[in-house]
Amino acid sequence: MALNWISGKIERKTVWSDGLFTLAVHCPGVSAFEPGQFLQLGLQLPEKHLHRPYSVASPHGDTLEFFIVRVDEGELTPKLWHLEVGDRIDVSSKATGSFTLSHAPDSQTLWLLATGTGLAPYIAMMREPNIWERYEKVVVVHGVRFATDLAYQEELQQLKERWPGRFVFVPIVSRTVMEGAIPGRITHAIENGTLEQFAESKITSESSVVMMCGNPQMLDDVEAILHTRGMQRHKKNQPGQIVVERYW
């Protein structure tokens, strides 16, 4: 299906670390969407229109946020990295995707697992009241390589203060030691029990829904672990506990 484009203007650029950034793009006219859905961002090159999908890291509005990592050998992201405030960027007018809370079942605890920029859809979800009305407890698990890749820290801290006992943020850092973070990878932290200890909750099919987004290896490995606990993908005609978004 042909995409319709809105010419957006970069209103803000936040650089979290080298190659890791958020673009806030003023692009009024994007149709209403659900937190967790994605849009296409694109640039017109002399030879073609180059575009890729990006989760929107904010709820619907005139200005939308995108949390992006530069893939050095990639085609689009090195170009996006060089954009500055005032530059134009094409934004598709209609979001798609089923990585949303309306595609997740009810439960007591909602686990939101992300590697890298896989955090984006959760930021959008947590800015809306729905998530806090539906789940007693929300645990965001952010797996990164370096402590400097832990973006959105201020906002996550504010959520902890706003929802004491109901919101837990778990940083998991694989390549540096950071106080207050679990060392290693998300998969290991589930297998060795440190994640559940940190969050003071158990991941069980009776009490939990697990959404996960980001690196495909993490998604496959975590899903395999959850299968051993009797958890399955959630489908319309076959209720389960796992909802997945693959970035590549």
Ligand X SMILES: Cc1cc2nc3c(=O)[nH]c(=O)nc-3n(C[C@H](O)[C@H](O)[C@H](O)COP(=O)(O)OP(=O)(O)OC[C@H]3O[C@@H](n4cnc5c(N)ncnc54)[C@H](O)[C@@H]3O)c2cc1C
Establish how many alpha carbons lie within 13 A of residue 34's alpha carbon, considering only the half-sphere containing its beta carbon.
Answer: 12
Tell me the C-alpha distance between 111 and 17, whole Å.
Answer: 26
Find the shortest distance in angstroms from Cβ 33 to ligand X: 13
Nearest alpha-carbon partner for 80 in 125, 21, 134: 21
Find the shortest distance in angstroms from Cβ 24 to ligand X: 14
The strand pair at 208-214 and 242-246 is best described as: parallel
Sign of CA dihedral 135, 141, 147, 148: negative
Find the shortest distance in angstroms from Cβ 235 to ligand X: 19
Q: Which is nearer to ligand X, 66 or 198 (CB)?
A: 66
Q: Which is nearer to ligand X, 63 or 194 (CB)?
A: 63
Q: Which residue is nearest to ligand X (CB)?
A: 74
Classified as helix, coil or strand, 120 is helix
Tell me the C-alpha distance between 178 and 146, whole Å.
Answer: 9
Residues near ligand X (CB under 6 A): 38, 52-55, 67-69, 71, 74-77, 97, 116-117, 120, 245, 247-248
Q: Which is nearer to ligand X, 121 or 171 (CB)?
A: 121
Find the shortest distance in angstroms from Cβ 179 to ligand X: 26
Find the shortest distance in angstroms from Cβ 203 to ligand X: 24
Q: Which is nearer to ligand X, 238 or 248 (CB)?
A: 248
Q: Which is nearer to ligand X, 135 or 245 (CB)?
A: 245
Question: Which residues on adjacent β-strands are paired with residue 238?
Answer: 235
Both structure tokens of 108: 């007591």
